[in-house]
Amino acid sequence: MSILETIQSPAQLKGMGVEQLETLAAEIREAIVRQVAHSGGHLAPNLGVVELTIALHAVFDFAHDRLLFDVGHQCYPHKLLTGRQHMLPGLRTRAGMAGFPAPSESPYDLFAVGHAGTGISTAIGMARGDTLNGEAYDPRANPDGRRVVALIGDASIVNGVAMEGLNNAGTLGRQFLVVLNDNGMSISKPQGALSQYFDRLRLSHIYADFKKGARDILRHVPGGSLLEEAYHRMGEATKAMISEGSWFEHFGLVTVGPIDGHDLPTLVEFLSEAREFDRPMVLHVKTVKGKGYDFTERDAARFHSPPAFHVAEDDELLPEGCRVELRSDGRSFTRAFGDAMLGMMERDPLVVACTAAMPDGTGLTHVLERFPDRAWDTGICESHAMDMMAGLARTGRRPFFAVYCTFLQRAFDQAFQEVALQGLPVRLCLDRAGLVGGDGAVHHGFCDVALLRVLPDAAITAAMDEPSLLAALEFMRTYEAGLSSVRYPRDTVSGRLSSVPCPPFELGRARRLTAPCPAADLDAAVLAFGTPAVAALDAADALAGGYRVGVWDARFAKPIDAELVSELLTAGVPVVTVEDHSVVGGFGAAVLEAAQSLGLDASRLVRLGLPDLWIHQDSRSRQLAEAGIDAAGIARAIRSAAGARPPGAGVEAAGVAPAVPPVR
């Protein structure tokens, strides 16, 4: 039996020697690689923190102390050490463990986290709460109190919220440890002056003389006299590693390191001393993203969050120069977008583009290489990126901001104030819109339409396939009245309509996908926003023997095709709206509002979309079925709407919002 198989609680680590802990580290890595190869998931970030996670659990008692993760995609080793080994085979599905911390799984997980920069601030909140509750660690008054540790990495330290947290952390008059997992990477290579500072620090290996450097720092930080007293109680190893001229000293934080994040004895020694320090401290730890395997170390960006893959050479996991094959089900929307942007930027010198630390994830990698003076990766700084795009728009450029849909809300204030309010034409390309599969609730893009629809002059579009994505981007390129957006999922593009010409996008006009016929001849009509249009066509085909169903690609959630809505509802046709977005405030809500404003009877309008509850990790296809917006769910709604139900009876099904009478 392996050591890992015997671990039921992290308390067992405290009695282990270094050799056992190193063996355990190797076993954790192998378990993670084998599982991610089978199911997909976050690989390189987890391989890089194995020793660090073991050392943290060996030194602290996080059944009592507080451990706050930042980002969260580096939590697999933590989960394996906290009684969840049996959940690993179901990784990223409802039957197993989530790919991010999940309080519903274990009391060792304090927040469900998947967005960068939040860990320090939530940790400060818990530190202040424990102090108010009389539960905080104090070496004299309460030596058995709770300690607080925030683990931040993958370049999220440069995020604006992390900076705000650091600024406030220096005011804490108690133990507070920030562990900086510095692997020189974010999802890909980090950007900005701060990352360059860490690069120099990693390379220099010039640390302060502990007598001069530490005392100089203590004299210049707020509360230095108090810190100096604590310094005298600090262990000699930690004193010797106080960093001279540390960037963090300006926040009032004593900084220790850098230290080797894969050297277990060193990690345990420094963490043991930091555990007793009673003032805010940063422990700077150097790690290698993808540590332990040649293919992940060489291409950590590619293996940050790969799909399932196969390692050649008879399934050996560690051959030198092995061949790794990532499984693919077809051409992705992300790839289609990246190719489209390349072509657009070659044709139009006014077009510029940016992403916030997601060049691979948004498809802009080749754009950044081809146009280094017109395309930028800002790092994990969505708010800054939005404002930078606003500035570019003000100079007459045509900016496109490629961002995960779930990260858009981090920049909504900027979209409101610096873009929409100014009437500037910034173009948002929202990858991972709707349900995202294994990443679960922390990454679903379910509220972009509801957010952006409130902004005057916004043009909100969605793509149903690759030709419509290209047409939407071309429409946005020349739309100058205000902000515009296009949403598309983390999925493969459908080829169903590849042989049919895709007409250009016209502001506020839907596209009919089924054969023309008078509205009065229809048993039901489906207005679909984005990729659900393909599922709606499949549903219409399945019902063709008994129902005449018209299907439209709505194309716009703002402005709505009011002429079409009026035509259908005036004819008394049951209308089903469907979207991969929340029913609250989404496309269907916009159709309902349009009907009300036109004075139309909307009692036979049925809205399908994501229900007003959290949908957790699983395959995207299962999530779509759960929400009732796959072909089978849409067919059920059509049959119900077109049946002998009295007007306004509504539809009782998961993800379906019953229609409400219009306000007159």
386 SS3 class:
helix
- CA 550/CA 462 separation, integer angstroms: 19
Pairing of strands 459-462, 556-558: antiparallel
Given a contact cutoff of 8 angstroms between Cβ atoms, the answer to whether 52 and 78 are in contact is no
Active site residue 382: yes
The catalytic residue among 147, 286, 289, 620 is: 289
CB 450 within 8 A of CB 392: no
Integer distance in angstroms from the first to the last C-alpha of the chain? 72
Determine whether 410 is an active site residue.
yes
3-state helix, strand, coil in the chain (%, to 5): 40, 15, 40
**Helix/strand/coil (H/E/C) assignment for every residue in 502-550:** CCCCCCCCCEECCCCCCHHHCCEEEEEECCHHHHHHHHHHHCCCCCCEE
C-alpha 163/C-alpha 124 separation (Å) is 13
**Pairing of the two strands 280-286 and 176-182:** parallel
User: Whose CA is closest to 232, among 268, 273, 285?
Assistant: 273
**Contact status, residue 439 vs residue 114, Cβ threshold 8 Å:** yes
The C-alpha angle with vertex 267 and arms to 264 and 269, in degrees rounded to 5, equals 110
DSSP 623: H
Q: How far apart are CA 468 and CA 377, in angstroms?
A: 26
Residues ≥6 apart with Cβ < 8 Å to 48: 74, 153, 181, 183, 261, 287, 288, 289, 290, 291, 300
Q: Is 468 exposed, middle or buried (0-12, 13-18, 19+ CB in 10 A)?
A: buried
Which residue in 51, 273, 382, 579 is the catalytic one?
382
Preceding omega of 10 cis (within 30 degrees of 0): no
Instruction: Give me the residue label for tokens 């294994």.
Output: 438
- Across 104-158, the runs of DSSP E, i.e. the strands, are 148-153
Q: How far apart are CA 456 and CA 411, in angstroms?
A: 17
Residue 106's SS3 state is: coil
Torsion of CA 335, 340, 346, 347, to 10 degrees: 180
Contact 496, 430 (CB under 8 A): no
Write down the residue that tokens 């019953």 correspond to. 658
500: CB partners within 8 A, 6+ apart: none
Single out the catalytic residue among 286, 410, 432, 453: 410
394 noted as active-site residue = no
> Any alpha helices (H) in 185-287, and if so which ranges?
193-204, 210-220, 224-233, 236-240, 264-275
Name, in order, each residue with C-beta under 8 angstroms of 289's C-beta and a sequence gap of 6 or more.
44, 45, 47, 48, 154, 183, 184, 185, 296, 297, 300, 304
The DSSP symbol for 618 reads S
Active site residues: 289, 382, 410
